[in-house]
């Protein structure tokens, strides 16, 4: 039944490591997003893909690289993790770029 | 650049009462969308209500309704008959009309709503 799912839900890792977060949606949507929620609960867009094409790339360090193997999946790979990367990362999807976005459960990343 | 302001970091309401959460935004666009999302302690982001700027009628969803004042750039959320399950962070969000980069949501800083017995 899960519409937008993310794995893992929790991720604890050491500084300098490389990690990936996976996102899958079974809603048939063609647009997917990554948002970052910091420790003060502020949410900000990072990336967006429409039909596997990158359409939004906000000011994000190039250590962050999204990958969309197909319309139902959008993964986020992070290289050389830093303390400041600790946050909750949300995946979202929408039917089209103009439609309402539905969010996954979030992945809490903690960098030690 | 568009900005969204939620001036109430915290609000409290008694069960069964009504509460209104405030949101103002700044934009030079005439066509756009506004949203309220709820984030309970489970941290799931849940869509509460959506308003298209071209619609004069205020959106309603069961106990949730908005007061959309386009000229004032104000978009408040009214929760009637508050329930314990309404306790959460509430985020106001703006999205420009259009495709491509317009699809990004710009969020306010959130209002934490407590519901007391």
Residue of B nearest to A53 (CA): B100
- Of A73, A79, A84, nearest to A111 by C-alpha is A84
Angstroms from B17 CA to nearest CA on chain A: 27
pLDDT, tens digit, 9 for 90 and up, residues B95-110: 988 777 777 899 999 9
The predicted pLDDT at position A65 comes to 94
Q: How far apart (Å, rounded) are the C-alpha atoms in residues A112 and A81?
A: 9
The predicted pLDDT at position A52 comes to 83
For residue B24, name the pLDDT band (cuts at 50, 70, 90).
very high
Contacts of A96 (CB under 8 A, 6+ apart): A29, A30, A31, A50, B99
Predicted confidence (pLDDT) at residue B41 exceeds the cutoff of 80: yes
Q: For the beta carbon of residue B44, count every other beta carbon within 10 angstroms.
A: 16
Predicted confidence (pLDDT) at residue B71 exceeds the cutoff of 80: yes
Contact B105 A43 (CB under 8 A): yes
CA distances, A69 to each of A22, A76, B91 (Å): 11, 11, 31
For residue B9, name the pLDDT band (cuts at 50, 70, 90).
very high
Provide φ and ψ at A61, rounded to 5°.
-55, 145
Q: Which residues of B touch A33 (CB under 8 A)?
A: 103-104
The predicted pLDDT at position B108 comes to 96
- Of A108, A20, A36, A106, nearest to A69 by C-alpha is A20
Q: Residue B11: exposed, middle, or buried by beta-carbon count in 10 A (0-12, 13-18, 19+)? A: middle
Q: Which residues of A touch B44 (CB under 8 A)?
A: 103, 105-106
Specify the residue for token string 């869509």: B47
The predicted pLDDT at position A111 comes to 97
The predicted pLDDT at position A1 comes to 61
The predicted pLDDT at position A2 comes to 65
The predicted pLDDT at position A68 comes to 92
Contact A98 B45 (CB under 8 A): no
The predicted pLDDT at position A4 comes to 95
Residues pairing with A28 in the sheet: none
Q: What share of chain A is helix, strand, coil (3-state, %, to 5)?
A: 5, 55, 40
Specify the residue for token string 């999946």: A73
Of A96-100, B21-25, B41-45, B98-102, least confident by mean pLDDT is B98-102
* Token representation of residue B49: 């209500």
Q: Does B109 touch chain A (CB under 8 A)?
A: yes
Q: What is the DSSP string of A50-66?
A: ETTEEEEE-S--TTEEE
Specify the residue for token string 């017995």: B117
- Is residue B3 within 8 Å of residue B106, measured between CB atoms? yes
The predicted pLDDT at position B101 comes to 73
Q: What is the full per-residue pLDDT of chain A (112 aa) written as tens digits? A: 669 999 999 999 999 999 999 999 999 999 999 999 999 999 999 999 988 888 888 878 999 999 999 999 999 999 999 999 999 999 999 988 778 899 999 999 999 9
């Amino acid at each position: 039944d899960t519409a937008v799912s993310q794995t893992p839900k929790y991720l604890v890792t050491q500084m300098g490591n490389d990690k990936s977060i996976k996102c899958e949606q079974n809603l048939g949507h063609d647009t997917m997003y990554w948002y970052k929620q910091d420790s003060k609960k502020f949410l900000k867009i990072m990336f967006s893909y429409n039909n596997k094409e990158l359409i939004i790339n906000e000011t994000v360090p190039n250590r962050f690289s999204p990958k969309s193997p197909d319309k139902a999946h959008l993964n986020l790979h992070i290289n050389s993790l830093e303390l400041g990367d600790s946050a909750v990362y949300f995946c979202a999807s929408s039917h089209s770029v103009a439609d309402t976005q539905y969010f996954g459960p979030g992945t809490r990343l903690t960098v030690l | 650049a568009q900005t969204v302001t939620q001036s109430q970091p915290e609000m409290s309401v008694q069960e069964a009462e009504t509460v209104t959460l405030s949101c103002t935004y700044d934009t030079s666009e005439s066509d756009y969308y506004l949203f309220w999302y709820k984030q309970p302690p489970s941290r799931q982001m849940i869509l509460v209500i959506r308003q298209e700027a071209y619609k004069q009628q205020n959106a309603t969803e069961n106990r949730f309704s908005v007061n959309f004042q386009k000229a004032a750039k104000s978009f408040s959320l009214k929760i009637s008959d508050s329930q314990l399950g309404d306790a959460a962070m509430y985020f106001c969000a703006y999205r420009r009309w259009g495709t491509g980069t317009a699809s990004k949501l710009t969020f306010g800083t959130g209002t934490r709503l407590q519901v007391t017995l």
